[in-house]
Amino acid sequence: MAKNKKQMTAVCKKNDELQLEIIDMGSQGEGIGRYQGYTLFIKDALPFDVVKVKVMKTNKNFGFARLMEIVKPSPFRVESQCPSGRRCGGCQLQHLAYEKQLSWKQDKIAGCLTRIGGFAPDKIQEIMEPIMGMENPTHYRNKSQYPVGYDKEGNLVAGFYAGRTHDIIPERNCLIGNACDQQIVDQVLSYMKEYGVSAYKENTGTGLVRHILIRVGESTGQIMVCLVINGKSLPKSDKLVQRLLECTPNGTDEKYKITSICLNENREKTNVILGNKVIPLYGETYIEDCIGQVKYRISPLSFYQVNPGQTRKLYDTALNYAGLTGNEKVWDLYCGIGTISLFLSQKADSVFGVEIVPQAIEDAKENAKLNGINNATFFVGAAEEVVPREYEKSDGKLRADVVVVDPPRKGCDEVLLQTLVQMQPEKIVYVSCDPATLARDLKFLAEKGYELQRVRGCDMFGFSYHVETVALLSKKNYNDIVLKKRR
Ligand code: SAH
């Protein structure tokens, strides 16, 4: 490799057409091939494909090329089940056999833990449990957000953004979307057409309807339809309500009923989908869903895991790793609507949840009441502020036997990790949606006296490159640490 470095940029240039074999897959599911030692990233190409590509962009050490033709398909290649698979930005692994998606995700987690986390490959091999896959990886999502806009001919459309653009592909029969979505989106569009309600135009910031947000409580069948609008109200909203209530979203299955219709006001010129204000049109501004024995109330603004079947497996794993006996004080950081907190509260002495979104904490408190749970306390605020503050207030006596963290992709703030190390919980259960930041944070904790004991992936997002991971760290024996220091 190093020898080739000097000549690298000369190997190929923009618009060159080349043939090569794909040898690996990048962190976002893109194929990786080498042309005379020069690395090219090729979207939609798979390991062992022999492909013809067109070079799009070259940097010093690597470049990007477009897949033009598959000369010899990889043995792992399958027919994409979605007609918009290649254009849509939602999925990246449509053409990879599901079993291979799982093994790739397993390797991805292991790779991050060794490369970024600095853990020995042998140790990772030994402790990693097999990834939990889905029995049926299609139509698993309980939440969708369809952008509404116009196509090139000026027709009203709703669907998904094409990869890396904001062009709307009018595809509603999404392979991973909920089976109820299509009916609902059709009803909204037909209402808009009939009453001349405009769609939002991103370039001018004018027009009304921006997105259709749909959430389905898989266990209760309750459905929320929330229209994100660039305004305060919707003309003839009663007609929309009427249409939605008259339809059976899931064909003949009467379990699924629209129980909440609302508006969300977003008048900002922004890519952020939701604004802060929710206006009810019909029913409550939330729906309910159950995971195991616990019932949850979910508002449009709160985070809730999108794959209900896999969420159950994820939380069971976290509960199992926490190893609760009933006497523990548990902290659940980044708790959202209290999902994990309440799931664990049944087996703990008490649970303390921390979450930055105030409305999620309102839901969490309400959820505790709804389930008659009275050993859970919730704090609004950033985990990296609340936990150090409570620790200081307690004069360093704040007790946690088990801490669960479930941060967003960027992982935990170092201030928080440092405070956890001071608090010295017996166990830390880390739930992560990004193996790279997980590995970074585990490295920090491993250097400060915590030992990585168990790791397990969970496929929450089939056909995408994302993967969820649960890891268990245990406090090393005092003796182990002293011995190590003396050495
Ligand atoms: N454990 C929950 C939510 C996990 S998603 C569940 O399984 O449903 C991560 C959550 O962290 C989101 O609810 C997000 O609002 C919250 N969050 C983001 N940054 C935060 C921070 N700095 N402190 C506390 N919570 C934060």
* For ligand 1, atom 12: residue with the closest CA: 336
Q: How many angstroms is it from 445 CA to the middle of ligand 1?
A: 20
| Residue 404 alpha carbon, nearest atom of ligand 1 | 1
* Terminal alpha carbon distance of the chain: 39
Q: How many angstroms is it from 303 CA to the middle of ligand 1?
A: 7
* For ligand 1, atom 16: residue with the closest CA: 334
Sequence-distant (≥ 6) Cβ neighbours of residue 210 within 8 angstroms: 147, 148, 199, 200, 228, 229, 230, 266, 273
* For ligand 1, atom 11: residue with the closest CA: 334
Residues within a 6 A CB radius of ligand 1: 303-305, 334-336, 339-340, 354-357, 360, 382-384, 406, 408
The pLDDT value given to residue 250: 84
DSSP, collapsed to helix, strand or coil, labels residue 163 as coil
The pLDDT value given to residue 9: 53
- The percent of residues above 70 in pLDDT, for the chain, comes to 96
Q: How many angstroms is it from 331 CA to the middle of ligand 1?
A: 13
Which one of 82, 226, 262, 433 is the catalytic residue? 433
Q: Which of 332, 356, 404 to mutate to test the pocket of ligand 1 (most atoms within 8 A of CB)?
A: 356
The pLDDT value given to residue 161: 87
Answering whether pTM is above 0.85, one says: yes
- Give the pLDDT band (50/70/90) at residue 8: very low
- Give the pLDDT band (50/70/90) at residue 480: low
Q: How many angstroms is it from 406 CA to the middle of ligand 1?
A: 7
What DSSP element (H or E) covers 187?
helix 181-194
Report whether 50 contacts 72 (CB < 8 A): yes
Residues 115-155 pLDDT 10s? 999 999 999 999 999 999 999 999 999 999 999 999 989 99
72 - beta bridge partners?
50
Q: How many CA atoms lie within 13 A of 69 on its CB side?
A: 5
The pLDDT value given to residue 478: 58
452 - beta bridge partners?
473
How far from 376 is each of 48, 57, 351, 366, CA to CA, in Å?
Answer: 52, 53, 5, 11
Strand ranges inside 334-414, DSSP E: 350-355, 376-380, 402-405
Residue with the larger pLDDT of the pair 172 and 81: 81
- Give the pLDDT band (50/70/90) at residue 482: low
- Give the pLDDT band (50/70/90) at residue 83: confident
Residues 173-219 pLDDT 10s? 888 999 899 999 999 999 999 999 999 999 999 999 999 999 999 99
Average pLDDT, the chain: 93
Residue range 443-447: mean pLDDT, rounded: 98
Residue length, the chain? 487
Active site residue 91: no
